[in-house]
Amino acid sequence: MSKAGIAGIGLLEEKINKAAGLIERLRAEKNKLEEANKELNEKIDSLYISNEDLLKQIEETKKSKAVSMNTEKRREEITVKIEEMLEKLERIEL
């Protein structure tokens, strides 16, 4: 084989080695990205669960508030009725 042929083979070998190195780096990068994607998906799932828990707590709080408001309204009604009865009793005593 001539020197030009051997030099051509050397260049081809160099290009193949560079391509192989590039492929290895790309595979490593792909693996890192896949792992990062997996971690992000796990975090998203965790956030969905947290969000669902928070929505349940909000609903419970709304129900509690409604019950509390209803109770307060009943107390006010009872207070008004007691005041009316006391006024009537005071009139009777006069």
Verdict on whether the full-model pTM lies above 0.95: no
pLDDT tens-digit readout, 2-61: 666 787 898 999 999 999 999 999 999 999 999 999 999 999 999 989 999 999 999 999
Residue 65 is predicted with a pLDDT of 94
Residue 92 banded pLDDT, cuts 50, 70, 90: confident
DSSP sequence for 21-75: HHHHHHHHHHHHHHHHHHHHHHHHHHHHHHHHHHHHHHHHHHHHHHHHHHHHHHH
pLDDT tens-digit readout, 58-80: 999 999 999 999 999 999 999 99
